[in-house]
Amino acid sequence: MIDSYFDALIAQIEEIRREESGSIAKAATACASSLASQGVIHLYDTGHMITKEFSDRAGGLVGFTPFSFNMNVQSFNLREDRQLRAKPGSDVVALALKRSSIRPGDVLIVGSVSGRAFDSVEVALQAQAMGVTVIALTGVQQASLAESEHPTKKRLFEVADIVLDTHVVAGDALMAIPGMDRKVCPSSGISAASTLWAMTAEMCAQMAAAGNPPTVFMSANLPGGMDELPRTRELYKKKKI
């Protein structure tokens, strides 16, 4: 199964390269244009795909900035309805965006495999209304099977300015194992990371060719890396790209 797993994963990555290179290049240009104008690339992840992978990473951009919010209600006892969960509303999203550093001209990358959740769609719509370019990182096949929780009944890939399809299969898991009744080995994390790092490579190439390369983190684990970290942050504050 080791070879079978790698074959399936490589086939999915090749599919992304073959079918999404145009969209990846378009997203890279949008991000490069924003950074060149001293904008910021914000990362909003409803699951596990991008925030930790792209924030404060060696070889990653200082301009990649995580965005998150939540609403916690602490008023529970033994009569708690276990199905009662506080969910963001449009007013909560509006407050979160207002309190954030997101500004017109920035880019917001929203990562969600299904793109069906209320908050991912609402964040995208409200950010667009602010003049922010929204890039969806999502699995269109999976999302097409999902029913949206948003009042518009639209899913993330139907509202974003640019869609990066990670080509995850329905259900996400790649491998059918003999003797098991469910597939294993989801690929959404790897495909999402590969797609956005490809975008990052193209974005950096465009900016470097224009003589305006973005600020990049050096690994703190290399010799001198810890000393370089504060200098890198100061350079970003000075250049703002």
pLDDT digits (tens, 9 = 90+) for 38-57: 999 999 997 777 888 898 89
Q: How far apart are CA 31 and CA 120, in angstroms?
A: 20
Distance CA 177, CA 56 (A): 37
pTM over 0.85: yes
* In the block, residue with structure tokens 């086939």: 11
User: Which residues, in sequence order, are CB contacts of 27 under 8 Å at separation 6+?
Assistant: 135, 162, 164, 199
Secondary structure (3-state) at 68: coil
Which pLDDT score, from 0 to 100, does residue 86 have? 45
Residue 202 has pLDDT above 60, yes or no: yes
CB 167 within 8 A of CB 139: yes
Query: Lowest-pLDDT range, 8-17, 79-88, 218-227?
Result: 79-88
Query: 231 vs 37, 64, 99, 217, 241, CA distance in Å?
Result: 22, 17, 28, 10, 14
Q: If you average pLDDT over every residue of the chain, what do you get?
A: 91
For residues 178-195, give the mean pLDDT. Answer: 96
Say which DSSP state 138 is in: E
Torsion sign over Cα 44, 165, 20, 184: positive
Q: According to the model, what pLDDT value does residue 72 have?
A: 66
**Cα(188)–Cα(180) distance, integer angstroms:** 21
Q: Is the pLDDT of residue 145 over 60?
A: yes
Strand partners, 100: none
Is the CB of residue 58 less than 8 Å from the CB of residue 221? yes
